[in-house]
Amino acid sequence: MKKVVKFGGSSLASAEQFKKVGDIIHADEDRKYVVPSAPGKRFGADTKVTDMLYGCYALAEKNLDFKKEIEQIKARYQEIIDGLGLTLDLTPEFEKIVDNFKNKAGSHYAASRGEYLNGIIMANYLGYEFVDPAEAIRFHEDGTFNADLTNQLLSKRLENVERAVIPGFYGALEDGTVRTFSRGGSDITGSIVAKAVKADVYENWTDVSGFLIADPRIVDHPEGIEIITYSELRELAYMGAGVLHEDAIFPVRKEGIPINIRNTNAPMDEGTWIVGHTCQKSKYVITGIAGKKGFASINIEKDQMNSEVGFGRKVLQVFEEYGISFEHMPSGIDTLSVMVEQKEFEAKEQNILSGINKAVKPDHIDIQSDLALIAVVGRGMKATRGTAGRIFSALAHANVNVRMIDQGSSELNIIIGVSNDDFEAAIKAIYAIFVEICL
């Protein structure tokens, strides 16, 4: 069996955390490919190494002295090296970094050094081969990820490598220029490596024991999710449920490789399994609840709208012309609503309204602002009658007014629109009716 294991910044913030990671890897001989992040925060007021590197490079770009800042970064790594009892000397690596900073190697290069240096330490600590992602993870000239070429190069590079450490977060353009993914991109690297080596499992180790049904900042001690499908996760991630980088799903989903979210500080916990399909029923009717604030609804009314061919297309074309993507578009016989992010819409509001008037000549346009969207997601909803009714009942008892409801054809999720002010109360009410009442 072959496992790829990725460890987040909090899991590698100190020598003590490194030792936990080492114990986890050595506890299972199938954990053959390790993807480390840069050191994260050791305590609440601490600074992540990636942020330290960004700050250091900002000084270099302005031709200001950054010796003090680079020494602080070096000290962070030396603390880990000393704590692990290694004889490793990173001085030559830091000399290269200083030279490249002075030569304006770019912010992508600067940010990538956090993972690069941590990868060297991890490889030395474990006795694994170090593989620099710049050798095999490729980006197009426009900065987008080149999936096909990467899989080809990385598969070949790791073909005869029994055990390896491959730092997360970055790769390179064809000319060798370092390029990074967006923040949290080490999750993506782990997924790419899992696909390249045809892994049986991709374990993603972080500081929580998997996904929770609801945001713990809103619901006290929410229940955990044991198993979730990729489709359910996509719906929840889109609505702001964090833990795993959204783009990390695609490489492994295509290959049918399951992801296991685990807790470095509680390695005995099973965590959450993310799978393509499952016959296992979720513990509750719903799998999870997630949401975001800050939306606006543009409500368009016109008699006999339903008989006017191309009406919806014409409306959406106006939003497209001004670079605004829509979130949802519930409609009736004579009404159509377009949900958009309020911040994006406000800057182009009058232009869009004018464009809609010209395009479809509506009888009336109304705008509702300061809305929140909540996604109630679950594969169990399809086979359960009265799910929407229970949601409405719960919200009514919590005195929450529903502004919009939209259910996808897959019956996998129900989207509810409420006032920003009712956001937290709505999530608590939905959680209570589906989870707390069943405990």
pLDDT tens across 293-308, in order?
999 999 999 998 888 8
Average pLDDT over residues 272-299: 90
28 — alpha (psi -120 to 50), left (phi > 0) or beta?
Answer: beta
φ/ψ of 35, rounded to 5, equals -115, 105
310 — alpha (psi -120 to 50), left (phi > 0) or beta?
Answer: left
Res 438: pLDDT? 67
Average pLDDT over residues 19-37: 97
Instruction: Give the pLDDT band (50/70/90) at residue 426.
Output: very high
Q: Could you give the CA distance from residue 276 to residue 233 in angstroms, rounded to a whole number? A: 10
Residues of the chain with CATH 3.40.1160.10: 3-207
Res 298: pLDDT? 95
The tens digit of pLDDT for each residue in 155-187 reads 999 999 999 999 999 999 999 999 999 877 788
Average pLDDT over residues 382-396: 87
Q: Could you give the CA distance from residue 94 to residue 49 in angstroms, rounded to a whole number? A: 14
Q: Does domain 288-438 have CATH number 3.40.50.150?
A: no
Q: What percent of the chain has pLDDT over 90?
A: 78
Tokens of 71: 């020494």
Sign of torsion, CA 145 148 151 154? negative
Q: Could you give the CA distance from residue 233 to residue 241 in angstroms, rounded to a whole number? A: 9
Q: Could you give the CA distance from residue 408 to residue 415 in angstroms, rounded to a whole number? A: 8
pLDDT at 241 over 70: no
pLDDT at 404 over 90: no
Q: How far is CA 190 from CA 34, 260, 274, in A?
A: 8, 12, 14
pLDDT at 42 over 70: yes
Instruction: Give the pLDDT band (50/70/90) at residue 78.
Output: very high
Tokens of 40: 């994260």
Average pLDDT over residues 275-283: 84
pLDDT at 227 over 60: yes
Q: Could you give the CA distance from residue 412 to residue 3 in angstroms, rounded to a whole number? A: 30
pLDDT at 274 over 70: yes
Instruction: Give the pLDDT band (50/70/90) at residue 330.
Output: confident
Average pLDDT over residues 220-242: 85
Find residue 138's DSSP bridge partners.
172
Highest mean pLDDT, choosing among 37-41, 375-379, 383-387: 37-41
pLDDT at 53 over 60: yes
Residues of the chain with CATH 3.30.2130.10: 288-438
Question: What architecture (CATH level 2) is domain 3-207?
Answer: 3-Layer(aba) Sandwich (3.40)
Instruction: Give the pLDDT band (50/70/90) at residue 393.
Output: very high
The tens digit of pLDDT for each residue in 91-119 reads 999 999 999 999 999 999 999 999 999 99
Burial class of residue 246 in the structure, from the number of CB atoms within 10 Å of its CB (0-12 exposed, 13-18 middle, 19+ buried): middle
Instruction: Give the pLDDT band (50/70/90) at residue 236.
Output: confident
pLDDT at 398 over 70: yes
Query: How does the average pLDDT of the chain come out, rounded?
Result: 92
Judge contact between 40 and 66, C-beta under 8 A: no
Q: At what angle do helices 91-102 and 107-126 cross, to 10 degrees?
A: 170
